[in-house]
Structure 1
Amino acid sequence: MAIGATKMVLGLLTFVTVGMLIGALFQLAFIRHLEESSGFLPWERDEDARMLRIGFVKPEIISWSPRIIVFHNFLSPEECDYLIAIARPRLRVSTVVDTKTGKGIKSDVRTSSGMFLNHEEKKYPMIQAIEKRISVYSQVPAENGELMQILRYEKGEFYKPHHDYFSDEFNIKRGQRIATMLMYLSDDLQGGETNFPLAGDMECSCGGKMVKGVCVKPKKGDAILFWSMGLDGSVDPKSIHGGCEVSGGVKWSATKWMRERIA
């Protein structure tokens, strides 16, 4: 009974949050239209507005089930290059979460290289700006976010379809993952799309192959926000997604996982 009540409350809160976010974004778009027509953009002198890239970020709803929003121009080119520069010297073979222990293990499911920013780097001004932006646009408190991970996929590398939510008791007790912000840091590549195979009944190009679902092509500065939990507070199997094989060039991305809480 308690679990059911918790799921219902979480579902209602999620529904309200999504509604507020979409309403706020439409309101911002309307205000920008009015101010552009007048030739006056007051937020150009507003520090918080610059931090949130108001006037640059453009939302596009990709799917309602699973819930997916692409934020175009979420990061500036300078922010993308900055994250790549931090990550490049510290890349290691990527791991996946072991479903039994909750620890990171190597797997042929994921063939990229990556690293995590540390707690000191979270204090850097540019990182703080990105973290705040993620929190505001996702409507998830910053303290509920894991450390940001930066990944590099070279030619022939991929990430097979998977869920971001946890299935091991260790991590679930520390707080289930509810949403993911996936940010593209480069676009000079072929392939490397993010595929959501259960998002609709269409077909799309994934690493040069036609597959079911929706595929989001990497574009430097764009970000994908998707939820791993449904409106009822339970995990959403439709949120399964994968990183298509890179057929040319190099794909850089940054990932921020957000939890219902972090114990």
Structure 2
Amino acid sequence: MKRSASSLVFDPTHVTQLSWTPRVFLYKGFLSDEECDHFVKLAKGKLEKSMVADNESGESVESEVRTSSGMFLSKRQDEIVANVEDRLSAWTFLPEENGESMQILHYENGQKYEPHFDYFHDQANLQLGGHRIATVLMYLSNVEKGGETIFPMWKGATTQLKDDSWSECAKQGYAVKPRKGDALLFFNLHHNATTDPSSLHGSCPVIEGEKWSATRWIHVRSFDKSFNRKTGCVDENEHCTKWAKAGECEKNPTYMVGSEADHGYCRKSCKACSS
């Protein structure tokens, strides 16, 4: 796929450092309106209830902690997706191959994601490129009220003043309002690669309107080369059978089965091998 000359260009004057504890940066206007609308269009009709990773097994499970719906794009599935992925790599200075496929999320009235960490507590997920060193949240729509990204353990020198345009949830820490086209980058690890508890974050309930966002998780190592890629009808992770029974073949087909752009690691358990 041919890269656009502008796909690797970003304007550092649009980036603001919001916090050092945790390290959080806001890029105003990272995505164009056309890119935002394209991502939403790709997701509509393909959304499923969002899952969370179980801290012990690493399996994806349903939880009231996270009440949004979402879906995963395939890496580089079209020119717009590929250009955004390239631009993310240029901005974060982290290799594109270290990133997961982007997840598109949709929050309706009252839906939320309780504060959580993006680094892992289980060994199964740590095999897949190690910890998520950084997270980028890209806002694909404006929200009339609510839907803020909240950092409850933020340690700033001064208090963030908030008027009645903020939700009560957003007043419980440092918060960022979702604005269409903006991107929020924060780091889940310290400079020495240890986990940063101050990176605890959540999505406040939507009060008025709806919220669309795209998430890109970036690992410390290549996510594309987490395992030696084998040929034939094989599983490449000891948890494939368990994940398949939990429905991951349908919920996360890009990882489990693979696509034209991505290698599938659980083809045998998903019964996706060609005859």
TM bucket (normalised to shorter chain) is 0.7 to 0.9
How far apart, in 2, do the equivalents of 1:112 and 1:56 lie? 32
Alignment-mate amino acid for residue 207 of structure 1: S
TM-score, reference length from structure 2:
0.74
- Shift of the 137–87 alpha-carbon distance from structure 1 to 2, 3 Å rule, reads same
For 1:67, the equivalent position in structure 2 comes to 23
Of residues 155, 158, 161 in structure 2, which corresponds to 1:200?
Answer: 155
Aligned pair 1:226/2:226, yes or no? no
Listed as ranges, the gaps of 5+ residues in structure 2 are 227-275
Residue 221 of structure 1, CA deviation: 0.3
Residue 232 of structure 1, CA deviation: 1.4
For 2:40, the equivalent position in structure 1 comes to 84
Other structure's SS at 1:62 match: strand
Alignment-mate amino acid for residue 253 of structure 1: S
Aligned length: 215
Aligned pair 1:159/2:113, yes or no? yes
How far apart, in 1, do the equivalents of 2:12 and 2:192 lie? 32
Q: Give the conservation status (yes or no) of the 8 Å contact 1:193–1:216.
A: yes
Tell me the alpha carbon deviations over residues 192-223 of structure 1, each in whole angstroms, 9 at most, x when there is no partner.
00001112353565634463321000000000
Runs of 4+ in 1 over 6 A off after TM superposition: none
Structure number with the higher helix fraction is 1
| Structural mapping, 1:66-215, within 5 Å | 66-119=22-75, 122-174=76-128, 175-200=130-155, 202-203=159-160, 207-209=167-169, 211-215=171-175
In terms of mean alpha carbon deviation, does 51-60 or 182-191 score higher? 51-60
Q: Give the conservation status (yes or no) of the 8 Å contact 1:208–1:247.
A: no
Alignment-mate amino acid for residue 42 of structure 2: I
Alignment-mate amino acid for residue 221 of structure 1: G
Q: Give the conservation status (yes or no) of the 8 Å contact 1:94–1:111.
A: yes
For 2:202, the equivalent position in structure 1 comes to 242
How far apart, in 2, do the equivalents of 1:152 and 1:247 lie? 14
Tell me the alpha carbon deviations over residues 217-256 of structure 1, each in whole angstroms, 9 at most, x when there is no partner.
0000000000000011101000000100100100000000
Tell me the alpha carbon deviations over residues 31-89 of structure 1, each in whole angstroms, 9 at most, x when there is no partner.
xxxxxxxxxxxxxxx953x2245449700100011100001100000000000000011
How far apart, in 1, do the equivalents of 2:16 and 2:212 lie? 22
Residue 125 of structure 1, CA deviation: 0.5
Other structure's SS at 1:180 match: strand
Alignment-mate amino acid for residue 239 of structure 1: S
Listed as ranges, the gaps of 5+ residues in structure 1 are 1-45
How far apart, in 2, do the equivalents of 1:80 and 1:200 lie? 32
How far apart, in 2, do the equivalents of 1:204 and 1:89 lie? 39
Structure number with the higher strand fraction is 1
For 1:254, the equivalent position in structure 2 comes to 214
Residue 172 of structure 1, CA deviation: 1.2
RMSD over aligned Cα, in angstroms? 1.9
In terms of mean alpha carbon deviation, does 159-168 or 98-107 score higher? 98-107
